[in-house]
Amino acid sequence: MVHQDRRGLPSGSGSAAARDAVDSALWRMMSFYDVPMADLDAAIAADDAWAVPPLMKAGFLLSLTEPALVPEAALQLERARERLHGRSPERERAHVEALDRVLEGRWAQAGRVWDTILLAHPQDALALQWAHLWDFYRGDATQLRARPARVLPEWDSADPLHPCVLGLYAFGLEECHEYAAAEDIGRQALQADPRVPWAIHAVAHVMEMQGRFDDGGAWLRQQQPHWAEGNGFAVHLWWHKALFRLEAMDTAGVLRLVDRHLSGDALQVTLNRVDAAAMLWRLHLLGEDVAERFKALMQGWDLDPGRAGHYAFNDLHAVLALLGSGEMAQAERWVARCAERALAAGDVRRDNHLMAREVGLPLMRGVLALARGDFDGAADLLYPARQQATRFGGSHAQRDLIDLTLLAASARGGRRRLGRALVNERRMAKPMTPLTRYWLEQLGDSEEARA
């Protein structure tokens, strides 16, 4: 007998209780309301022979980009593999194959496996969610938009997960600079279900990219009851709120948000600490004294050099935290370890190692040069890496940190024309903001900055 889940997809479990628990876990993974582990434990209790619950545990752990969690993820993936049998649906086998690729560091290959699943089963939300996350980690904006677009017409709008899929699509549209469509789709998702932080996030990104910092702050404040408590996306959305304050050059407001929401117990995983480091670095570039905050951030961060080289995006932010704390020698050791791993024999074809060699390491060496006071050397390293920074992962808003660092290097050194060119880009992309005026002034163009 072929069992099916609530979307009609073939399932390897004959237990309705197990399937329901997995569906609840899937909703948590897509909405970020609490972690899915309790639901997955309930599914295992209902059907210990089913591969999907340990499979989902493995994927969830890997999605956190924490090197310390990789051994447990590998153990859960092996448990899933042991539970596959002759009657296991092909889609469940393919999910195991995709996570094998993730574990090997071959993220693009994993995406191709998930794409194969979605062509056969467009309603496989697990494949869509994971493909979207690793597309994001690889900076693949085209797939962030195209993958949800390929499946959305096949979804029933009454499905409880349909708003989550709309949220994924909205973010992909925004990353492809389709701002009006992104905002419209994001708002549609929230009309159907206000508890879709990914859609809230997508609309916030639109407002960030358009320089609508007052609108953005008001938007997040309006939606705050749906994301600020009990949601894994909260720290990142507080980061966005601080980003809007930064664009207004309200550094005191940014510091208040950092101290209340981007520090201490709020920072549970590396992805949270990355947000905190990114905001503190932006303040540091503006001349704010945030060294003690950087030091406090480091206390909860596993910065053993043995952890370096797992994900280039996170590695750069670890270097920023170390430099902001005045730990130049430790930052240099971290970069050296990243280089060692990126160039290791047998690892050269893995996605992260390519990202590290071609983008991550030049960026890390650039910020090291800036910290040493070699401003022109920093600019010469950062500018070429900037041209391919989308391969580095993250969003346009997150990668703007590279441009801001370049602006600081240009303003403090001899690359004023480069700095002016970067400001011109900003002025053409969105209205003049207080932050852009600040950098014009730093580049010696104060008269135009006041215009």
For 169-199, how does the pLDDT look when each residue is reduced to its tens digit (9 = 90+)? Answer: 999 999 999 999 999 999 999 999 999 999 9
What's the predicted TM-score (pTM) here?
0.95
Q: What is the mean pLDDT of residues 162-169?
A: 98
Q: In Å, how far from its chain's centre is CA 389?
A: 14
> 271: how many CB neighbours lie within 10 A of its CB?
19
For the chain, counts of helices (H) and of strands (E): 25, 2
Which band of pLDDT confidence, cut at 50, 70 and 90, is reported for residue 321?
Answer: very high
* Cα(236)–Cα(203) distance, integer angstroms: 14
* CATH number, span 269-451: 1.25.40
pLDDT higher than threshold 60 for residue 219: yes
Q: Which residues contact 216 (CB under 8 A, 6 or more apart)?
A: 204, 207, 208, 240, 241, 243, 244
Residues 194 and 175: beta-carbon distance below 8 Å: no
* Cα(142)–Cα(139) distance, integer angstroms: 9
* CATH number, span 1-132: 1.25.40
* Cα(163)–Cα(198) distance, integer angstroms: 10
- 38-42, 96-100, 161-165, 441-445 — which is least confidently predicted? 441-445
* Cα(227)–Cα(220) distance, integer angstroms: 9
Taking alpha carbons only, the member of 357, 366, 323 closest to residue 338 is: 357
Q: Work out the percent of the chain whose per-residue pLDDT is above 70.
A: 97
* Cα(377)–Cα(55) distance, integer angstroms: 46
In degrees, to the nearest 5, what angle opens at C-alpha 74 toward C-alphas 80 and 34? 80
269-451 and 1-132 share a CATH fold: yes
Residue 405 CB-half CA count within 13 A: 32
Give residue for tokens 């971290």: 334
Residue-wise burial string across 81-119, b where 16 or more C-beta atoms lie within 10 A, e elsewhere? bebbeeebbebbbbbbbbbbbbeebbbebbbebbbbbbe
Q: Where are the domains of the chain?
A: 1-132, 139-230, 269-451
